[in-house]
Chain A
């Protein structure tokens, strides 16, 4: 019994820390609709800055608590700079595009932190006055954890006061409900957005700084917190502070008690919780259905027309290059080109649901990975020849696409995207933990092509034929009646239903089709690499796909193709050239976002239309 009470207290302490980070994220999202990937980076910066300040300032209460507060404020200032220089310029860009920009910031911060603070983990001093423990029911419990348990509710209370008792808070709540209306009433939106971003960053920095007496400060803090913070925000309901507190509590306690029963559940627990909550409550615990903020009647996305003649010529030239150039290329160039072809299809498959479908996915790698595992498992357990393995890939991916899609397409916006992430993480943890079948994180080895396809050139042409065929098929689908129906339900579900389009079925089938196509890409990837690992369906790969589509431009058909080539090509070159590739890649992404807020292909189209005068 005593043990259970202490376990509950431990859960409360974790919940409190989690809430601080999630609160900042949810406030920022509520007002600006930005999916702020860099929030974890601010958390990490808060911890590093606090370490520097606390270890330089004189020891004692003032040095420690002053250092923590100063670190939080400094993090807020960094957030302010990012908002003014970067995000403010792209609020009008298509939805989720800001995610790309914040991801660039993540990459830059990772390298800058490494350069500034070095690779070794740093240990901060313990909090003065809270070093020891207190006896609770005969067991010892750390004082600092008790302090954290208090901090969470206090911060929540202060935030609620701020939002409900000040004019600024009222404006923020108004903007959360209806941005346009607040703007129309003459409120300076810029100031509002900037100040909210500052507040959110301060909270992230405070969350990081307060970890100093608990945890070591290290370079993995950013990515390890960001997904969990997002889960808390979404489970609680986007933009809802009370919801975030409730969700943090739920996850903290479930985790504390979950490990007593199932120690290995640590990997997947938060995602199981999220999947369950979202299936039962599509807008989170305390979230409200979003108003017609985005995509209301009359705000249809640009119509996709037939490709203009020069684009056709360009496509033909690219195709000729893709077919003829490899005859002269070396083995390594061939394997890179093979990857390009695979990622083009992968990005195009995501584009089908993101562009024409109007549904974002944060977990598209699931179907890529399931395809790869489908092929590898067939090869390993059934000794299937390569072609059979390649056929198993889209089958496996499509099956799970139908299953997961059935739940995901009922939701909308970020909720739907986060549910895809939850399913992807569940699939990932199965691949990771079911060691007997999947080999766990050591993966499945020896998935090499049959001897006829073993030469790199043959395998390249096989990949090119399949990927090109599939990509062209996707293009055809978008121009077919099914594609029109898909775009119709995106622009106005209500009108689409009125003319007899079954919006749910259309979205569901599109989701499954995208999964099948990603599965083809995954199967080809498995044989190209010779091995399959859980990383194939991990979050970083999903993010890669998202970045490719966003970089190319969501609103054009050639966008994902160009985005895939640009992103993979850049990364491949930079990794070979420099150890600081993250810094440079991040910088390039930020620059591209600033100069081409509609993506590369979107910018090209805008220029083309402007020159023809028919924009």
Chain B
């Protein structure tokens, strides 16, 4: 029974769209529809601010008259963290809702599944969050672009700082899935290249979201490293930090840590945020460039909240799409893909380019160290690391990415 009901709805919707589309398409002012898929119920801590940033950007674009007289409209879908559901929803957005392009993605495997769908069905996919290098390199395809600085880029930013430390004995701790494994692999490879004298004495791979922090901390301490590379985040990070602090793991040891400077992960730690870790992140309260100050103020006015990194990513994804739509000759996949390759747009962090060579944007991240100020963690001595400086040379990229 249920199947029949849905079928009928779809028939009507499909027929309606088929009848209406050619007319609406030509009409001035008909909205351009963006299909956005994300793991809203599975990862709400990161994706709520993301959605706020996204919504605000769409409102800004539309208030400024839209793109070529047409407003933007977004259809959000929740994949619940399952790549197979994301593929179904992509099909729904493309076939039933007739969206012009796809966007979104937080988990790497969801991003890859949508990217593969986009490639197969010749749809543009502007990935916002997923960090996996495979998305633009080993699994890269013509139709997929990615905004955020990848695992490789962020690892490379930290290696630059790590290489300056006197530490020679390193230990690593990372969640046991692709992101954690890749980050550790790149960190080891790049640091060994920069400092052939370092050795890695221990590695821990707790299950994502289920770290046994006490045992993990003790296992790291037992090998007595001089410095630690941390990739855990979210709840795992909190538990790791708490156990590490009471057991003295971080005393007389330097810690280099991916993403920990992002307010998403630093704020929940409150006054227990670890001090003097070298991190990538986003010091939202201290970046006072005109673009960012305006963004921060607009965000505060719209949501009565402070921005997280997710807010910036959501906002800039929309801005990138709008910039691309302004440059494209037609709202049609191939033209849009051509416009995306090499697209330059002004992000909240400054000018960013979607590289034609691998479709990775040059959006960077802030690198600095953590400090406690007024009972909460923030970043100090930070600098903006422009993404374009932390990507491998072009010939290496060509070897990593299928060329066809």
Contact = CB atoms under 8 A, between A and B. Distances in A.
B113 A531 contact: yes
A332 interface: yes
B177 A336 contact: no
Given A445-B139, A566-B2, A576-B77, A3 B218 contact: yes
A287 B113 CA distance: 44
B166 to A, nearest CB: 25
Interface stretch (B205-213, B334-342, B378-386): B205-213
Interface in B105-163: 108-109, 112-113, 116-117, 120, 132, 134, 139
Interface string B242-267: 11001110000000000000001001
B181 A266 contact: no
B209 A531 contact: no
Given A123-B238, A325-B4, A331-B95, A529 B113 contact: yes
Contacts of A333: 6-7, 10-11, 14, 96
B214 A145 contact: yes
B324 interface: no
B83 interface: yes
Interface string A317-351: 00001100110111111011101100000000000
B2 A329 contact: no
Interface in B153-199: 176-178, 181
B198 to A, nearest CB: 19
Contacts, number: 242
Nearest to B49: A119
Given A333-B10, A442-B132, A570-B2, A535 B214 contact: no
A440 B177 contact: yes
Nearest to A260: B219
B82 interface: yes
Given A133-B246, A215-B239, A530 B108 contact: no
Contacts of B178: 435, 440-442
Nearest to A228: B210
B87 A529 contact: yes
Interface residues of B, number: 79
Contact of B83 (A256, A443, A575): A443
B272 interface: yes
A202 B95 CA distance: 50
Task: Determine the interface band of chain A, counting residues with CB < 8 A from chain B.
Answer: 35 or more
Interface stretch (B38-46, B57-65, B312-320, B356-364): B38-46
Interface string A132-159: 1100000111111100000000000000
A533 B83 CA distance: 7
B209 A330 contact: no
A330 B95 contact: yes
A10 interface: yes
Please classify the interface of chain A as helix (H, G, I), strand (E, B), loop, or mixed, using the class held by over half of its residues.
Answer: helix
A6 B246 CA distance: 13
Interface string A568-606: 111011011001011000000000000000000000000
Please classify the interface of chain B as helix (H, G, I), strand (E, B), loop, or mixed, using the class held by over half of its residues.
Answer: helix
Contact of A442 (B94, B109, B267): B109
Interface stretch (A75-83, A87-95, A217-225, A478-486): A217-225
B116 A266 contact: no
Contacts of A581: 41, 78
B268 A122 contact: yes
A267 B176 contact: yes
Contacts of A42: none
B95 A3 contact: no
B10 A448 contact: no
A13 B91 contact: no
A10 B246 contact: no
B224 to A, nearest CB: 9
A538 to B, nearest CB: 9
A121 B221 CA distance: 27
B95 A332 contact: yes
Contacts of B398: none
Interface string B275-310: 000000000000000000000000000000000000
Nearest to B113: A531
Contacts of B215: 7, 10-11, 14, 255-256, 259
27 contacts: A7-B219, A10-B214, A11-B215, A14-B212, A119-B44, A121-B235, A145-B214, A214-B213, A214-B243, A215-B238, A259-B204, A264-B205, A267-B207, A321-B7, A331-B91, A332-B14, A335-B95, A336-B92, A337-B3, A441-B109, A446-B116, A531-B87, A531-B112, A533-B84, A535-B82, A535-B84, A569-B6
Given A442-B112, A568-B2, 18 more contacts: A7-B218, A7-B222, A11-B215, A14-B214, A119-B45, A120-B268, A121-B235, A140-B246, A142-B214, A143-B246, A145-B214, A256-B215, A333-B10, A445-B139, A530-B120, A535-B81, A565-B2, A565-B3
The 4 closest A-B CB pairs, nearest first, are A330-B14, A569-B2, A333-B10, A119-B44
